[in-house]
Structure 1
Amino acid sequence: MNNMVKDIEKYMQNEANEIINFACKLINTKTENPPGNEILAVSVVEKYFKRLKIPYEIFEKTKSRTNIIGYIGERERSRERPSLLAACHLDVVPAGDGWQSDPFCAHVKNGRIFGRGSSDNKGQMASMMAVAKYLKENESGLKGLFLLAGVADEERGSALGMEYLLDECGIHADYAIIPDVANNMQMIDVTEKGALFLEITSFGKQAHGSTPERGINAVWNMIAFLNQIRHYKFRHAFHPLHSPPTMNLGSIHGGTVANTVPAICKAQIDLRYLPGDSPTDIINDIRSIMKEVEDQHSARFELKITSDQPSTNIPVDNPLIEIITKHTEAILGTKPKPMGQSGSTVTKQLIQKGITAVGFGPGDHDEAHAANESISIQELIDFAKIMALISWDILT
């Protein structure tokens, strides 16, 4: 094993320029979601797969919202052998303001790659390409199957990406590693909060602003409701790997002008609940609070669930975590710790399909979605080393 570690370390250091160049090519493709246009990044990946003679498939639920998966190992023979999926998303959030340079013209400075997607998640895809190259060159030694996926639509729910691949395209694996959690390879995402998004509508009765008693003010009723749920107590308020559950009032819209009693008001709420809690119980609690406010204020409300992503939780003594820990220590000299994630990654969809999936990867936690986003080049190289060792360990 020591010789293999040294060989892979040397190999990936030699791939440094290739990792940088590939990351920059991906960053230079403008795949802001919306609208996505992941096909631009997929074309870069496809050329690389062709050059390395890696078989691949392209999946597209909607035009230009493209996914690509490369396969290394004997696919037929591997059905009874272990399979490992590494998935990076090719869409990015809109660039926004505050950039000191063109966010879609990657540049290298002080050992870092700058550009939208460098840390979330195109830099990681460049690392995984180096891993794919190594595995392809040593494919004869693989007994299992390696799948490298560049997926669409992660930033807006994955309906055109991972969900589509799992539900409609028959993609499956025994294990999956999702390099979309940053933390400089010091943490392994083993559990994620549930994410419940609600849209609340308050219905009133329009009237002249000078005679508000003739109407029913939908905005005032919404305020009464929001003041009630602001102090909502979740049933499960503690988890050893998580921060407490949260509620965020994301938006509120109602009324048109000052001299009209508003007849409608809408609010959007984001609830992040802990493993063990039930979205059904939470929704029932919210409905009970609605009923109280309706009875007290001549109000009428409607609740719509806009997204319900359940919490996930895998055992911390899982063999996949042990393998990641072992090889991270071999390269970095430190052992990553299990963590809970408040945000969501595609590990949710994978776990729901019975795939053992964790989040693990390079990058600083505060870089994703920020202006002047960047990532350490050495971290990308080290991540490639670790992932090559993990993949070889699982698949041979």
Structure 2
Amino acid sequence: MTDVVELTRELIRIDSVGGGEAAVAEPLARRLEAAGFEVRAHAYAPGRTGVVARWGTGVPVTLTGHLDTVPLGGQDWTYGPHAAEVDGDRLYGRGSSDMKAGVAALVVAAERHARGPAHRTALEIVLTVGEETGCEGAIDMIAQGLVGRSRGLLVAEPTANRALLGHKGALWLKVIAQGRTAHGSMPHLGDNAVYKLARAVGAVEHFDFGLPAHPWLGAPSVNVGTVHGGINVNSVPDLAEATVDMRTVTGQDHAELRERLRKELGGETSLEVLTDLPAVWTDPDDPFVRALLAAGASPPGDHPAASYFTDASVLTTACGAPPIVICGPGEPEQAHVTDEYCEIPRIEKAVEIYAGALALLAP
């Protein structure tokens, strides 16, 4: 096995489902320090440590990935989820595609770059915690002032080594209706929160974003994901809540969007923000994109945007709105599934892509 594959296996063997990222960060920080990086730990919570590592002078290129993984699900795994088993060209385990292979590849590429010829572009490695639960680690990193300006942001999320140019934003909201409880046989003495919420949910279904579809990101969308209300069948409910998932495109102001939705829902409900992540998009002709393609990344093709959101939504402002490319060795369709795997040749190829692109960029 090559070094990057063995590193990926080492990371998969560490259980970081919904936490425990400190154990994943430790060997990566150690390797980056040995390669000459200045390493800073990001202590988000006990056992949940991220890494920011800097090498060189000047405005850096930023390589980023997350260290947490999602739960295993209820189905049995054919291959142990943390055994890092190899079968043919496939490496199995939770996080193999999403996204410990990408993290391993960017760290090995960073080592290669730092130990290469002189006059190399500066690098910043940002390894986050809590991405799967709303980019919590990246948000806290920025609040602590750990992330600086960048000339390009590479996100190693699973794309099968395609260079994707952006993704939609995510605005998740809770719609809250309040009323007054009473016995179910005397509803006139109460104020039914479920009825209020039902009227609001109907308004959400017909919400008009009022703008055309983005040429590549597509049209914004809205979905009511959950509805909860009441405590038992024979009581008038005094509280009802629904969650709303809005996916937005570049140019949409989330604060304005929330206000428009609030007015559309009327005065019977209130809104609470759960997640607020803007869309990101990069011009296909940007030199950062061209460098990655020249180094061997697959072109974006007819669907150049990721279907998921990434830490780029959070990092872009702190980094000074640099060009952003999402490109990682994982298989997008394998993210979060039972018997998750990554193709080993793609992991090795990702190192070549990252290191090659960095070598093509002027210092």
TM-score, normalised with respect to structure 1: 0.84
Q: Which residue is 1:350 aligned to? A: 315
Alignment pair present for 1:104 and 2:82:
yes
Q: Which residue is 2:105 aligned to? A: 127
Structure 1, unmatched stretches of 5+, are: 1-15, 295-299
- In the TM superposition, what whole-angstrom CA distance separates every residue of 1:277-303 from its partner, at most 9, and x where no partner exists? 332332233222222xx5xxxxx3221
Larger relative helix fraction:
1
- In the TM superposition, what whole-angstrom CA distance separates every residue of 1:69-106 from its partner, at most 9, and x where no partner exists? 3344xx3xx12xx5211111111111222222331221
Code of the aligned partner of 1:321 = V
CA radius of gyration, larger in? 1
Code of the aligned partner of 1:302 = S
* 8 Å contact kept, 1:119–1:363: yes
Percent of paired sites with the same residue: 23
- Following superposition, the deviation at residue 54 of structure 1 comes to 4.6
- SS for the counterpart of 1:70 is strand
- Following superposition, the deviation at residue 52 of structure 1 comes to 4.6
* 8 Å contact kept, 1:255–1:265: yes
Among candidates 337, 341, 349, match of residue 382 of structure 1: 349
Q: How many residues align?
A: 358
* 8 Å contact kept, 1:158–1:346: yes
Code of the aligned partner of 1:40 = A
Cα RMSD of the aligned pairs, angstroms, is: 2.1
- SS for the counterpart of 2:244 is strand
| Distance in 2 separating the partners of 1:105 and 1:239 | 42
| Distance in 1 separating the partners of 2:241 and 2:299 | 47
| Distance in 1 separating the partners of 2:292 and 2:340 | 26
- SS for the counterpart of 2:333 is coil
Structure 2, unmatched stretches of 5+, are: none
- In the TM superposition, what whole-angstrom CA distance separates every residue of 1:235-266 from its partner, at most 9, and x where no partner exists? 12411112322112122111111111111101
Q: Which residue is 2:231 aligned to? A: 256
- SS for the counterpart of 2:71 is coil
Change (3 A) 1:319 1:164: same
* 8 Å contact kept, 1:38–1:90: yes
- Following superposition, the deviation at residue 121 of structure 1 comes to 1.0
* 8 Å contact kept, 1:242–1:342: no
TM-score, normalised with respect to structure 2: 0.91
Alignment pair present for 1:235 and 2:213:
no
Alignment pair present for 1:359 and 2:326:
yes
| Distance in 2 separating the partners of 1:84 and 1:276 | 25
Q: Which residue is 2:47 aligned to? A: 64
The 5 Å alignment of 1:1-396 reads: 16-33=1-18, 36-49=19-32, 52=35, 54-72=37-55, 75=56, 78-79=57-58, 82-98=59-75, 99-138=77-116, 140-160=117-137, 162-172=138-148, 173-180=150-157, 182-189=158-165, 191-291=166-266, 300-328=268-296, 334-337=298-301, 339-353=304-318, 354=320, 355-394=322-361, 396=363
* 8 Å contact kept, 1:236–1:277: no
Code of the aligned partner of 1:340 = A
- In the TM superposition, what whole-angstrom CA distance separates every residue of 1:104-142 from its partner, at most 9, and x where no partner exists? 22111121111111111101122223213322331x423
